[in-house]
Structure 1
Amino acid sequence: MLIENMSMAFHAIRANKMRSFLTMLGIIIGIGAVIAIAAVGDSMRNLFTDAFKDVGLNRAAVMVSWEVDDFRMSDQFTRAEMDRIKDIFSDRIEYIDSNASNKVEAVNGRRKVSYQFQGVDYNYTDVQPLDIVYGRFLNESDVKGAANHVVLEDKGAIKLFGTADSVGRTFRMTLNKITQEYKVVGVYHKDMSPMVAMMLGNGQSQSGFIPDTVLTRSNDTFQAVNLYSRNGTNMRQLTVDLKQYVAKLKGRPESEIMAMSAVDQMGTMDAQLGTMSAAVGGIAAISLLVGGIGIMNIMMVSVTERTREIGIRKALGARTKDIMIQFLTESALMSACGGIIGVILGISLVKIGGTLLKMTVVVNPAVIVLAVGFSALVGIFFGLYPASKAANADPIEALRFE
């Protein structure tokens, strides 16, 4: 019986192809928009997760909030204080530095390249492994001696020197208002999508590493302490303990201390993206209501056009529920077909966008199943009244209908 009803439904849809397509258009647009928005939201969440993994999920930073009204120089950290933090939390902290960074212009002859240099300690690669393709990473003597040595990303080295293999080459740049020569001791390679690079601030500037003692040598204090925890450390508890310790160290209330971990930031960002996707998806889903009304309208027209057919079927023994199921099947099938087309359209748009932006697209299969199922339910819901009207038609009056 179901196969027969579906066959009749397909026949009715094919008989009025353009009208059926226009009826399904609202469902197609609604489902396509919902699928696209859900995929974009999931893809962005995946992108942020990758970005946080790139900087390290076991990363944290602590500082006196810059929003305090009476910020003083003593609120800055000294190297002695940073070393004390590392000693006290040595069972949970594997790496620590001054979180220093600087955006400068590197000059090599007529070539000028904007760089974002991150100040690090010699053991940075213990927590953030790098693919060194030429030379070496910064060593202990580079950091302790505040040597003018740098490690460049291969893309930046090509822009500055015309070749990735630039170990031993020198260039000029101005740090702390002092222009000096700097020597390349290593070149590394890092695979990163343009979107992640832009999110990490590497969209326009090239990246590189320099001893943090070089970035802070004109003033041996810094605003924040950057650290990486040991494996298995409870990051939330660590940030709480760091906040308490720094509050005592600086003589500040805990409310004026900022202690942030990558895990907390990722959780906050994920929640915000989830809320935004749900809100925008809800707005897009309104078009499903419009599509449902369109289905109800066309099914009412269909019932009127097929009044004589209904009368003949009833005269031949079709029951009220048979007529109702027939029209419900037609409206559900029309809506489901619109949903399937909408899914294909939504996924195609997102895939094309992902290809253009060179980012991985995440499409949740559960969302697809839910979208198609929901579109069918919309068809059934809005087909109830027309189907009921057809089912309750008087066979005698229906047979008289011209």
Structure 2
Amino acid sequence: MNLFENIRLALEGLRANKMRALLTMLGIIIGIASVMAISTLGSAMTGSVTKTMDKIGGKNIMVSLSPKNYDTQSTLQEDDLITQEELDAFRNTYSDQIKAISFSTGMGSGRLNSGFIHKDVSITGASPDYGLVNNVNLVQGRFISNRDMDGNRNVIIIDTTLRNNLVGVDGDVIGKEVQVDTKSTNETYTVIGVYEKMVIDNPLFYMGDDTRVECFIPITTAKSLNPDTANTVGYESFTIMATSNTDSAAFAQTTKDYFIKGMSPLSDYTIEAQSLEAIASEATGMLGTLSLGISVIAGISLLVGGIGVMNIMLVSVTERTKEIGIRKALGARNSAIRSQFIIEAMIICLIGGIIGVGLGSVLGITGSTLMKFPSTPPIGPMIIALCFSMAIGVFFGFYPANKAAKLDPIDALRYE
């Protein structure tokens, strides 16, 4: 009996006992469906993390002063701060690997007033490269320039919602003066630019209070208006945008080593440098490990399904004992009998696997869409799932098949 004949007999047996076959496949279907759904959701979340990191600056390196020992009180000295001269020297040294360097400082919350318009805002002092490094999308005017920095100018960049409130969607707000009140200041600023707020539709990333509009002013202006920073000449932190062909994780270590060399050994502070690319890699690795762990747990149901297949194949052998005896009496070899039942078990598991892959893919696509991470099922896990389901058929079908092959033909013919 050839392979195709065995497949035909297996399919006829399944058609003759449809309900029993479906119940036998149920464990396989649930196991494969669970693995496929989890793989699809894991792939969606991993892709979402990568895309979001790229959107907010995948090649960025965040550098900051950090206490050497968090268990003791650390005092930040003026000499610990990183000066503009040090940043310029660093940029010249690694000009082929640095695209931009930005630094910023927060002035806290305030209230923007213009006529009858009153809006809660948060004020951020920013450098000229801040817009490039943080993907600030200007739709009108310009961003902060070096001349704004050098002159400590009272200029401001607002977002489109503020622009719409002040002059309407099609209005020109450039050059308009607005007043911003904070806890310690009451200043009038001239609007020089309008940006469109970046939308991060990923619940894994919390981007702060969406009700408060962020506005940008020159960092030198912000520092001069803040009594705590008015007399400082350095920065506690800055962000580097590496060039596209630079390994940002390796360059983060290079940056750290460079600035640590310039610090006093007696300082309570050291330099920390983190690459968003490395952070994204760690996050996706954790998601992948989590998905794999959950998939393994879900795959346990495949073993339960395999036991169900073994059980039903033993029943099938018992029901077809006389048929086996007749085939043996006509000269069928043990290997032919064994192959027939193994192939039947494989067909049961393969059909269950196909149904499980289809069901799991639908569940994965639906789940990823509801979570706002639209994704398609990964091909690799799909192929592995189908191969594994057939392997389950071979493993759990061998014992019943071997039992059938070893039946004595005389005893089998006498079986009622």
TM-score, normalised on structure 1? 0.85
AA partner of residue 72 (structure 1): T
Which residue does 2:139 correspond to in 1?
Answer: 133
Q: In the TM superposition, what is the alpha-carbon distance from 1:84 to its structure 2 partner? A: 4.6
Rounded to whole Å, the distance in 2 between the matches of 1:159 and 1:338 is 58
Which residue does 2:340 correspond to in 1?
Answer: 326
Q: In the TM superposition, what is the alpha-carbon distance from 1:243 to its structure 2 partner? A: 1.3
Residue 201 of structure 2 corresponds to residue 201 of structure 1: no
My pick for the range that moved more, 260-269 or 157-166, is 157-166
Rounded to whole Å, the distance in 1 between the matches of 2:201 and 2:130 is 24
Q: In the TM superposition, what is the alpha-carbon distance from 1:273 to its structure 2 partner? A: 2.0
Which residue does 1:13 correspond to in 2?
Answer: 14
My pick for the range that moved more, 28-37 or 128-137, is 128-137
My pick for the range that moved more, 365-374 or 277-286, is 277-286
Q: In the TM superposition, what is the alpha-carbon distance from 1:112 to its structure 2 partner? A: 5.3
Q: Which has the larger radius of gyration?
A: 2
Q: In the TM superposition, what is the alpha-carbon distance from 1:92 to its structure 2 partner? A: 3.1
AA partner of residue 260 (structure 2): A
For the 8 Å contact 1:30–1:287, the answer to whether it is kept is yes
Match of 1:364 among 378, 397, 404: 378
Which residue does 2:4 correspond to in 1?
Answer: 3
Match of 1:282 among 282, 291, 296: 296
Which residue does 1:44 correspond to in 2?
Answer: 45
**1:106–1:35 distance in 2 versus 1, CA, 3 Å:** farther
Which residue does 1:71 correspond to in 2?
Answer: 74
Which residue does 1:97 correspond to in 2?
Answer: 102
For the 8 Å contact 1:216–1:222, the answer to whether it is kept is no
AA partner of residue 149 (structure 1): I
Rounded to whole Å, the distance in 1 between the matches of 2:356 and 2:111 is 50
My pick for the range that moved more, 131-140 or 22-31, is 131-140
* 1:260 aligned counterpart, secondary structure: strand
AA partner of residue 93 (structure 1): I
Alignment root-mean-square deviation, CA: 3.3
**1:362–1:191 distance in 2 versus 1, CA, 3 Å:** farther
Rounded to whole Å, the distance in 2 between the matches of 1:171 and 1:385 is 83
Q: Point out where structure 2 has 5 or more consecutive residues left out of the alignment.
A: none
Q: In the TM superposition, what is the alpha-carbon distance from 1:270 to its structure 2 partner? A: 2.6
AA partner of residue 328 (structure 2): K
Match of 1:242 among 243, 255, 258: 255
Q: Within 5 Å, give how 1:150-299 maps onto structure 2.
A: 150-152=157-159, 154=160, 156-157=161-162, 164-165=169-170, 167-168=172-173, 175=182, 177-178=184-185, 185-189=192-196, 192=199, 194-195=201-202, 199=205, 201=207, 204=210, 208=214, 210=216, 211-217=218-224, 218=226, 219=229, 220=232, 222-252=235-265, 256-299=270-313
**1:366–1:84 distance in 2 versus 1, CA, 3 Å:** same
TM-superposition CA deviations, 1:222-276 (whole Å, max 9, x none): 4312111234334344322321222233325999431111222222223222222
**1:100–1:243 distance in 2 versus 1, CA, 3 Å:** same
AA partner of residue 242 (structure 2): S
Rounded to whole Å, the distance in 1 between the matches of 2:320 and 2:266 is 78
For the 8 Å contact 2:21–2:348, the answer to whether it is kept is yes
For the 8 Å contact 1:120–1:209, the answer to whether it is kept is no
Which residue does 2:316 correspond to in 1?
Answer: 302
Residue 412 of structure 2 corresponds to residue 380 of structure 1: no
Rounded to whole Å, the distance in 1 between the matches of 2:207 and 2:413 is 74
**1:329–1:167 distance in 2 versus 1, CA, 3 Å:** farther
TM-score, normalised on structure 2? 0.82
* 1:194 aligned counterpart, secondary structure: coil
Rounded to whole Å, the distance in 2 between the matches of 1:118 and 1:92 is 27
Rounded to whole Å, the distance in 2 between the matches of 1:382 and 1:193 is 49
Q: In the TM superposition, what is the alpha-carbon distance from 1:355 to its structure 2 partner? A: 2.1
* 1:195 aligned counterpart, secondary structure: coil
Which residue does 2:128 correspond to in 1?
Answer: 122
TM-superposition CA deviations, 1:159-216 (whole Å, max 9, x none): 96696556527776655654556665444447756117x5161684577551444554
Q: In the TM superposition, what is the alpha-carbon distance from 1:101 to its structure 2 partner? A: 5.0
* 2:6 aligned counterpart, secondary structure: helix
Rounded to whole Å, the distance in 1 between the matches of 2:378 and 2:25 is 24
Rounded to whole Å, the distance in 2 between the matches of 1:265 and 1:253 is 30
Pairs aligned (count): 398
Q: Point out where structure 1 has 5 or more consecutive residues left out of the alignment.
A: none
Q: In the TM superposition, what is the alpha-carbon distance from 1:390 to its structure 2 partner? A: 1.1
Q: In the TM superposition, what is the alpha-carbon distance from 1:378 to its structure 2 partner? A: 0.7
AA partner of residue 301 (structure 2): S
My pick for the range that moved more, 178-187 or 17-26, is 178-187
For the 8 Å contact 2:97–2:246, the answer to whether it is kept is yes
For the 8 Å contact 1:157–1:163, the answer to whether it is kept is no
For the 8 Å contact 1:138–1:151, the answer to whether it is kept is no
* 2:262 aligned counterpart, secondary structure: helix
Kindly, what percent of the aligned residue pairs are identical?
Answer: 34
Q: Within 5 Å, give how 1:142-157 maps onto structure 2.
A: 142-144=148-150, 145-152=152-159, 154=160, 156-157=161-162
For the 8 Å contact 2:155–2:192, the answer to whether it is kept is no
Rounded to whole Å, the distance in 2 between the matches of 1:98 and 1:66 is 20
* 2:202 aligned counterpart, secondary structure: helix
